[in-house]
Amino acid sequence: MDTTESKHILAGKRGIIFGVFNEKSLAWAVAKHCVDEGANIVITNTKAAAKLGSSEKLASSVNMPFIPCDATNEDDLEHLLLESQKLLGGQIDFILHSVAQSLNLRRRKSYDNLCYSYFQKTLDISALSFHKLLQTAHRLNVLKRGASVLTITYIASERSMAGYNDMSDAKALLESIVRNFGRILGEQKQIRVNAISQSPVPTKAGSHWNEESYFFSYSNQLAPLGNATADDLADVCVMMFSDYTKRVTMQTIYNDGGFSNTLLTPSLINSFRKSIDTEDTK
Ligand SMILES: NC(=O)c1ccc[n+]([C@@H]2O[C@H](COP(=O)([O-])OP(=O)(O)OC[C@H]3O[C@@H](n4cnc5c(N)ncnc54)[C@H](O)[C@@H]3O)[C@@H](O)[C@H]2O)c1
């Protein structure tokens, strides 16, 4: 790589960003950082999300096109990929899949009382859509040799976590697709496929926690570096889309301040001690 060519590490690259719903969306932070680093991108979301949220307005605020696409629909995916290639003027260098939804979570159905048609939708939107995206992109040959594809996951794919519900199963499947498709695309076209396991951030999909919630501060206290923000995630994504990570593939990369490898910290022990002491004095 010729680093004298440009100081912008994504200069000249063409990307597609899924999942910009509003300013709080993780995908929006990533989109902005990619544009700042010199990339040309297409922003996409469902027609319904575009109506309810601000995807189109945000795309035009960075002078980038918006193309609607339901990521579970293969015809929509085909149209998005071919149109993006046309609009951006060549094969695609990177894609961010930042897509998830669980009606069981939203309607507060507990894990031992799931609605199975919702469960199937959770899996389709939050995991199978990634397979459909990769399979369609591969069939149409729209990804450039050496391209980089990312999805966003959460540690509850590997650990049992109260409240994360059927999304845990969707994330486990998503990470498995990363490994299996990553091998095929790597062997055939040197294409990288990775998942970033992200700290909690208060967004629409992350609405089960807000900055005041117990879980958000528990996670922040347990992580030696604290919770990673949307901007922190965007930095990691830019690095993963760049040529600096040409041989990193089929991984789940933890952008979580060390949360996933920490069992207990002095600050958490102190919090427990304080609450036990308060109980004792009652
Ligand atoms: N916010 C967090 O704390 C957190 C932590 C770890 C991982 N994640 C993951 O990050 C990703 C982005 O979530 P977010 O927190 O930015 O919330 P968000 O609600 O802003 O983003 C989710 C996006 O998925 C889109 N989407 C839903 N169904 C779709 C479909 N059929 N086709 C295309 N798009 C569809 C929504 O419109 C929305 O833009 C999700 O995969 C989420 O699970 C979030």
14-281 is classed in which CATH architecture? 3-Layer(aba) Sandwich (3.40)
- Which stretches of the chain score pLDDT less than 70? 1-6, 207-212, 282
Looking from the CA of 103 toward its CB, the CA atoms found within 13 Å total: 12
Cα pseudo-dihedral 3, 188, 138, 145, rounded to 10: 20
The pLDDT assigned to 210 comes to 63
The residue nearest atom 43 of ligand 1, judged by CA position, is 100
Contact 89, 83 (CB under 8 A): no
Q: What is the DSSP letter of 109?
A: -
The pLDDT value given to residue 5: 52
Report pLDDT for 273: 85
Q: Measured from the CB, is residue 206 less than 6 Å from ligand 1?
A: yes
The pLDDT score that the predictor gives to residue 181 is 98
Which of 241, 200, 244, 194 has its CA nearest to residue 218? Answer: 200
The DSSP secondary structure of 172-231, one letter per residue, reads HHHHHHHHHHHHHHHHHH--EEEEEEE----SSTTTT--TTSHHHHHHHHHSTT----HH
Least Cα distance to 234 among 3, 27, 14, 10 occurs for 27
Biggest alpha carbon distance in the chain? 70
Indicate whether residue 154 lines ligand 1 (CB < 6 A): yes
Write the residue with the smallest CA distance to atom 12 of ligand 1: 98
Q: In angstroms, what is the span from residue 188 Cα to ligand 1's centroid?
A: 29
| Atom of ligand 1 minimally distant from the CA of 209 | 3
Exposed/middle/buried for residue 186 (C-beta within 10 Å: 0-12, 13-18, 19+): middle
- C-alpha dihedral over 74, 79, 80, 82, to 10 degrees? 120
pTM given for the model: 0.95
Q: Could you give the CA distance from residue 245 to residue 185 in angstroms, rounded to a whole number?
A: 16
**CA-154 nearest atom, ligand 1:** 6
Residue type, 277: D
Per-residue pLDDT, 208: 64
- Could you say which DSSP state residue 125 is in? I
Nearest atom (ligand 1) to Cα of 55: 39
